[in-house]
Amino acid sequence: MHLLPCPHCQTPFHVSPSQAGETVNCPACHAEVPIPKLGEIRQLPRAEESAARDRKVGGAASGGSLGSEGSLGRKITFGIAGIAATVSLLVASYCGIRWALVEVPSTTEDHIATVREELSKRTAAELIREYEDMENRIIDLEAPFPYKRKAIEKAGWGRNASIAAALGSIALLVAVGCALGGRPKQP
């Protein structure tokens, strides 16, 4: 099949070599168009070459791979991945700021050292009385200690920031892959 432009409206339409010398009506303007001889038909552009060229031009005109056939899925994936990357990186930033703002007043080692120091200042009689009091009443301890709760909170913010940053990075890579994946090769 070859493409013959209508002499009246310039709309190209398909003609085959078997139609050489006949007259047909233009599908766009319905004017009568004489089909040239077989030698002249073979000099016209082939319909397959024109369709391939139109696809290539359409893909380049709309931003590389995002305008070619099958690109709707790529566009949707690009949009979703871009939104996911943006949201994830914003969440990672928020969690990172919260992690930085949580102050842990001491560590377990500091707490043990403080208790040892306090107990070393007491006399033996005071320690025995305290031990007997502990046997007679239930020890009401906060579990975990306040400094430990702060450490757990800080670790949680850090973990959330790391997970959100990893997800944001993956989504960003997917978005970049969609944007660059089907670009036409440069000569």
Of 42, 38, 31, 35, the C-alpha closest to 8 is: 31
What's the alpha-carbon Rg for the chain, to the nearest Å? 39
Beta bridge partner(s), residue 25: 32
Helix, coil or strand: residue 3: strand
Number of other CB atoms surrounding residue 78 within 10 Å: 20
Dump pLDDT digits (tens) for 6-27: 888 888 888 888 888 888 898 8
Dump pLDDT digits (tens) for 175-185: 898 888 766 55
Extents of the domains making up the chain: 2-45, 67-181
| Full-model pTM | 0.50
56 contacts 69 by C-beta, under 8 angstroms: no
